[in-house]
């Protein structure tokens, strides 16, 4: 009995505790490929005192011959230890789709840091550009990314693609994989050109009749439109 009590006293406490002010949470990741180098960009939320209600957000990039090398590059320069398990969204750039895509996806499948529920998206051009966009309606746009894909999944069943879906798509040779495409929303001004000089002046004065805090006045709105079709581990085409 004494031995059991002694063991309980010695082993008591939080042996694996993480100091709140010494960690940061990766919430979104963008993967790009430049020549033979991976460029990894992450959006990190750095928690402060819970009573403040304010969470500074930091965007940082790292480079490496592999995604793991790029992650190590980021960790070396991060002021805090990065906690990956809270990440919700992974965005693949266009160059990643065209260059050895299986190697990229295989890393996420094998990585212990990533959850099977992580959402996958893609975009034309560089994925990192999307992490710099902050819609007015979303203080931390990672949550905005997640809500976009979940809202669409509510309207169109099984339109959201998770890491688990990617795993099934790769393992089943006869199954095509569709990854939703995230892009800047086309503004109404681009869709409808002014019909007269008076209309042009009206649009330049007073924000074109838009309310200052309305969705229409936000040039940083994002949308999910179409996606990338993947077949036999290779990019086929963009689908609208």
For helices 163-171 and 101-110, what crossing angle results, to 10°? 120
At 89 the three-state DSSP class reads strand
215 pLDDT band (50/70/90 cuts)?
A: very low
User: Which comes out higher in pLDDT, residue 119 or 209?
Assistant: 119
Spacing of C-alpha 61 from chain mean position: 13
Closest to 156 in 3D by CA, of 124, 180, 138, 175: 180
Side-chain half-sphere of 190: how many Cα atoms within 13 Å? 6
Closest to 74 in 3D by CA, of 89, 88, 87, 63: 63
How far apart CA 180 and CA 166 sit, in angstroms, is 12
Q: DSSP strand E in the chain: where? A: 23-34, 37-45, 57-64, 81-83, 89-92, 119-122, 177-184, 222-231, 234-239
Mean per-residue pLDDT, 102-123 = 83
User: Which comes out higher in pLDDT, residue 123 or 189?
Assistant: 123
Mean per-residue pLDDT, 6-13 = 61
Side-chain half-sphere of 97: how many Cα atoms within 13 Å? 26
CB environment 145-166: b (16+ within 10 A), e (fewer): bbebbeeebeeeeeebbbbebb
Mean per-residue pLDDT, 183-199 = 57
192 pLDDT band (50/70/90 cuts)?
A: very low
At 39 the three-state DSSP class reads strand
**Contact of 138 with 145, CB cutoff 8 Å:** no
Mean pLDDT, rounded, of the chain: 75
Rounded to two decimals, the pTM is 0.75
At 239 the three-state DSSP class reads strand
% of the chain with per-residue pLDDT over 70: 68
Backbone angles phi, psi at 170, to 5 degrees: -75, -40
How far apart CA 38 and CA 100 sit, in angstroms, is 11
């Amino acid at each position: 009995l004494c031995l059991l009590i002694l063991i309980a006293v010695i082993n008591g406490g939080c042996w694996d505790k993480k100091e709140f002010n010494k960690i940061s949470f990766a919430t979104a990741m963008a993967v790009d490929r430049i020549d033979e180098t991976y460029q990894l960009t992450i959006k990190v939320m750095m928690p402060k005192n819970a009573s403040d209600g304010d969470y500074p957000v930091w965007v940082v990039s790292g480079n490496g011959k592999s995604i793991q090398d790029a992650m190590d590059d980021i960790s070396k320069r991060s002021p805090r230890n990065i906690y990956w398990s809270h990440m919700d969204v992974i965005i693949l750039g266009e160059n990643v789709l065209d260059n050895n895509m299986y190697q990229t996806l295989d890393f996420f499948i094998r990585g212990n840091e990533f959850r099977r529920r992580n959402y996958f998206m893609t975009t034309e051009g560089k994925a990192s550009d999307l992490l710099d966009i902050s819609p007015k309606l979303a203080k931390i746009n990672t949550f905005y990314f997640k809500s976009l894909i979940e809202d669409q999944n509510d309207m169109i069943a099984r339109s959201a693609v998770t890491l688990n879906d990617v795993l099934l798509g790769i393992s089943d040779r006869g199954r095509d994989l569709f990854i939703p495409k995230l892009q800047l929303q086309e503004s109404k001004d681009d869709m409808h050109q002014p019909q007269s000089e008076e209309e042009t002046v009206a649009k330049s004065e007073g924000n074109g009749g838009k309310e200052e805090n309305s969705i229409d006045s936000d040039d940083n709105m994002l949308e999910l439109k179409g996606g990338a079709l993947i077949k036999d581990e290779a990019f086929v085409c963009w689908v609208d």
